[in-house]
Every structure is written in C-alpha cells, then in structure tokens.
Amino acid sequence: MSVQYQAVQWNPQKKAYDLTLLACVVLYLGLFVGVGAVIHPNATAETLLIRGLGTGAFLLLHVILSIGPLCRLDTRFLPLLYNRRHLGVTMFLLALAHGAFSLIQFHALGNVNPLESLFTSNTRYDSLAQFPFQQLGFFALLILFLMAATSHDFWLRILGAQVWKRLHMIVYAVYALLLAHVSLGALQSEKSLLLALVMGAGLVVICGLHVAAALHEQPVDSPRGAGEEFVAVARFDSIPDKRAIVITLGNERVAVFRHDNKVSALSNVCRHQGGPLGEGRIVDGCITCPWHGYQYLPGTGASPPPFTEKVATFATKVVDGQVYVCPRAKS
C-alpha cells in the first residue's frame, strides 16, 4: 500500500487481465479493418483505421464506465475493477492513435501546421450541423491524457484521494464530449442509422446501470443516530462472520465488522480510492478492501506495518445480542 506503488506488480492475474484486454482490442480492430476492407474495397485503409480506432476507444469507454455500477450491483464483477486503470490507459492509447491519424490525414501537409488547422479550418460554432466536431475530440483526448498520466498510485498520493477522485470523475465530461464529437461529426455524414442506434444503446446501458446501482444503494442511505450516545444498528447474529454490514451514522458511512466474537466499526471509505470497505472481508485478521486489497486492522483502523494508512474507527458494544455503535468517530 504505501510502499507498494514504486513498481508495477506483475502477477498471473494481472497478466491474464492484460492479455485478455489485448486480445479483445486486436479482435475488434481486426474485424473492423479486415471485414471493412473486404466489403468496402473502395474505402482507404486510413479511413478504416481512423474509424476502427475511434469506435474501439469509445466502446472501451463504455466498458470502463459500466464496471463501477456493475460492481455495486454484483460483487462478482470486482475482478474487472481491480485493474480498471489498465482499461483506461489502453483506451487513451487507442484514442490517441485515432486522433493522431485524423490530425495527419485531415490537417497535415497543408499551408498551416496541423494544430492550427484543427482550430481554424472550421469556426462555425453557431451551427450544430456544421459544428467543428474535431475540436471536441481534441479536448476529450487532452483530458484522457491527463487522466492516463495521473493514473498511477504515485499521483494518487501526491494529489490526495479526494482531488484524484475528482479528477477522474471528469471521465463523464469526456463521455459527453465524445457523444457530441460523434453526433456532430460522423453521424452527420452517415446515411444509415446503425451508428446512431449503437451509440444510443450505449447511452441507455450507461445511464441504466448508474440508475440501477443508485437504487440498489438506497436502503443503507437513510441516516440515523445524530446526537445519540450509542445507536442500535443490528443483531449480532445478522452480521456474517468476517464480514460487515454498512450503515449511515450522521453523514458518514460506517462498516460494522464481525470477527469471531467481536465487532468493530470503521469508516466505510478506503483510504486508497474510496472503495467500500464494508463489502470487503477479514482476511488473515485484516479488513481487506474489495477493490484493490488495501488492509486495515479491525481494532485500530490502521494498516499493518510498514503501511501507514488509517481509517476512522467508532466505539462499539454488544448487549443481549444487539450491536451498538457510537455515532462519533474515536479521536
């Protein structure tokens, strides 16, 4: 955790993840360009590559945006989340190739440099049908670059989890920019509705999953216990061993873990990237985050040495099989 970020840690799972990802990318591009060249013999290779890379990157963005809500709905998807940043970086590289090929194809070898051309060839900001859609792609690419460049845990430490998380939430702005990039660009030229339908289906899936995940979370979201000394939260027997239930006390999410005959209450928010600790387990005596496996001791909320992370803990007591938690964090 604190000292782990120095080198990329390779293990068989990570290799399998990356190889699968690579295979899917090759499959997609191979099909797009290969089949495209056969059924559209007049299309230039550059056009097929530009379109294959652009749509491939956009498709991968849909996968990336779906993983979060899918994991909230079904924890079996968590392994996809573990290396989600690899998806992000791969998506950036595909988008970069698409943008670079487009810049060369449409803007290079002219009477001004390609970047100047990108911003001066079309200035019809007043028209939707003629809007300079390529510039929207450029800004999306710029943000993706910032996110890919700061994806490493090194930057997470420098920026702090909050700022880092906020930075990475801009991915939704990228999604919006890209919807506009395609709607005001390729969709204006295509005669068939297929691209529009596929993109619309993607939007429905992304919105649907986010709404479903939000609804799924509702039950734990009603806060209780403001001002009280100890709050009854659950029957001891209702908490599975080495696991937790999640409650909201005041305005904080708290994970109440049971291990053997004891209970511990900790902030539900992992210090790494804010993963839901209450959905983790106690492994080898440590509460283990379901997202990337950061660990905390149930008693103190501190990561075992040499790590230095610490989450807030709350006083607990069990009376007649009823678990009580103090709503104020221990200082």
Partner 1 sequence: MKHDEFYIGYLPKAPGTLSGFLRRTVITLAAAASVIALLLVLGQAPFPTATFEFGDFKPWEGTLIRAGGVPVLLTASSSMPVLLVAPGKHGFTEGAHGRRVRIEGSRITRDGLTMLEVKPQSLQAIGEGQALARTEPVMATLYGEIADSKCYLGVMNPGQGKVHRDCAVRCISGGVPPLLIASDGRRVVLLNTGDIRDYIGQQVKLDGRLSQWGDMWVMDEVRTSYK
Q: Phi-psi bin for 52: left (phi > 0), alpha (psi -120 to 50), beta?
A: alpha
Q: How far apart are CA 307 and CA 144, in angstroms?
A: 31
Q: How far apart are CA 66 and CA 81, in angstroms?
A: 10
CA angle 221, 217, 57 (to 5 degrees): 135
Out of 292, 323, 326, 327, point to the residue binding ligand FES (CB under 6 A): 292
Give every CB contact of residue 307 below 8 A, 6+ residues apart in sequence: 1, 2, 3, 294, 295
Stretch that binds ligand FES, among 128-136, 242-250, 285-293, 299-307 (CB under 6 A): 285-293
The verdict on 137 binding ligand HEM (CB under 6 A) reads: yes
The verdict on 50 binding ligand HEM (CB under 6 A) reads: yes
Number of residues lying near ligand FES (CB under 6 A): 10
* Phi/psi of residue 213, nearest 5 degrees: -65, -40
Q: What, of partner 1, ligand FES, ligand HEM, none, does residue 140 touch, CB below 5 to 8 Å by kind?
A: ligand HEM
Out of 47, 121, 122, 248, point to the residue binding ligand HEM (CB under 6 A): 47
Q: What, of ligand FES, ligand HEM, partner 1, none, does residue 2 touch, CB below 5 to 8 Å by kind?
A: none
Q: What, of partner 1, ligand HEM, ligand FES, none, does residue 273 touch, CB below 5 to 8 Å by kind?
A: ligand FES
How many other C-beta atoms are found inside a 10 Å radius of the C-beta of residue 13? 11
Fill in the DSSP letter of residue 225.
-
Place of tokens 């609804």: 215
The verdict on 291 binding ligand FES (CB under 6 A) reads: yes
Judged by the rule CB under 6 A, the positions of this chain that interact with ligand HEM are 47, 50-51, 54-55, 57-58, 95, 98-99, 102-103, 106, 134, 137-138, 140-141, 144, 178, 181-182, 185-186, 195
